[in-house]
Amino acid sequence: MLAFIALAACATGTFAALSSSLQPVPEFDHGPTGARMFMYVPASVSSPAPVVVAIHNCASSAETYFGYAKYPQLADRFGFILLYPEADSDNGCWDVSSDASLFRSQGGDSQTIINMILYAVSKFGGDLERVYVTGSSSGAMMTQVLAAAYPDVVKAASSYSGVPDGCFAVADAVPGMLTPGWNSDCASGLVTKTAEEWGRLARSHNAGNNGQYPRMIIWHGTLDRILDYNNLGQSLLQWSNLLGVSFTQNITNYPSRGYTKMVYGDGTKLVGFSALDVGHVVPAHEVVELQWFGIIPSNAVVDIMAEELGEADAAASPQASNGVSVVFVAAIVAGALSLAVAAAAAYAWMLRRGQQRLRIGKAAGKRALVHYDAVDTLELQPS
């Protein structure tokens, strides 16, 4: 029975208390918009450290997004720093509609976030060569905007339920609007273009780029009613053109049941994930992201953390996901104890595991990121 309890404890896993806390950075005043800067810097981290930028969704905040996923716990373990921008709007949405934010260095929220990154590099020991961006919904839209307009800064990008760069443009939108512009046609999945047209639009936002773009992984739920599922395909068209790769194959039930991995080229530059029966909130899968960033080696064994984060691949790890197998193992190990006692212990473990998964989301979706060589080092851009 003790062996079974040890098995269950290993499977569920726990994180130690955070070594630090999320802190506002009031001294950041480089703007040009009023977005606020928050940082999480582990108590012990080597400089220069990778920088992971986590961009919240609408109706959210830096603090809320800080608690949404396990990036801070992983930062403590793997030695990176976290930047959480916070939108200065009445609904918490980011400006991904104005020309100022879509075009490089024109004064929108995108430029403010870039200036935060540069500030984190200069003041908090960040590594400009290892800057990675992840975001959900409005934050995912901003993620694609940043990757297109500032590919010399963003080395990897993960978009959870977003839209293509430029899709959300609104003709009369300006920076600093109390309520950022909303493009209903784009949100409804009615804006469609060819891959070449999407690529041309993104390139226009940074005319001086040398043609290199970050690797990108894009995730979307098939039941998304906020930003229509059609935006997954449109985003993949855009980034396949920017990265110069074509679709090669689908891999079903990967990384977990109900998900289809859409591979472009050899799968090292662009991958899409279609999440069957998942709505607008595709849950964060932090270990997968950090492996894609290169912060965690792709072949690293992080089983305990994967279970805690809901990262286990049910198809690849049947024992970890099959209650019958666990009960069977428990019965053998328990020996003299009754099957009823062993089954009760197994049920309690499975219940805890289910609660952990529910805290992460309804389905075990995963996303990833992007890598590419840095070009020039930017200076802080004045407001």
pLDDT above 80: residue 49: yes
**3: part of which helix (H) or strand (E)?**
helix 2-12
Rg of the chain on CA atoms, in Å: 21
Percent of the chain surpassing pLDDT 90: 69
Task: Tell me the sheet residues that pair with 23.
Answer: 39
Quote the pLDDT of residue 34.
96
Q: Which of 88-92, 117-121, 199-203, 355-359 is predicted least confidently?
A: 355-359
pLDDT over threshold 90, residue 370: no
- Is 137 a residue of the active site? yes
What pLDDT is attached to residue 355? 35
Residues 339, 267: Cα–Cα separation, whole Å = 46
Task: Check: CB of residue 133 under 8 Å from CB of residue 55.
Answer: yes
Q: Which of 136, 137, 138, 235 is the catalytic position? A: 137
323 vs 85, more confident: 85
pLDDT of residue 13 exceeding 60, the answer is no
* 343 or 116, higher pLDDT: 116
Greater pLDDT, 55 or 351: 55
What is the mean pLDDT of the segment spanning 135-156? 98
Determine the pLDDT at residue 302: 54
State the average pLDDT for the chain: 80
Per-residue model confidence (pLDDT) at position 15: 65
Q: What is the pLDDT of residue 256?
A: 84
255-288 pLDDT, tens digit per residue, is 889 999 999 999 999 999 999 999 999 988 898 8
Indicate the burial class of 6 (C-beta count within 10 angstroms; 0-12, 13-18, 19 or more). exposed
Q: What does the pLDDT read at residue 22?
A: 98
Q: pLDDT tens for residues 61-80?
A: 999 999 999 999 999 999 99
H or E element that contains 216: strand 215-221
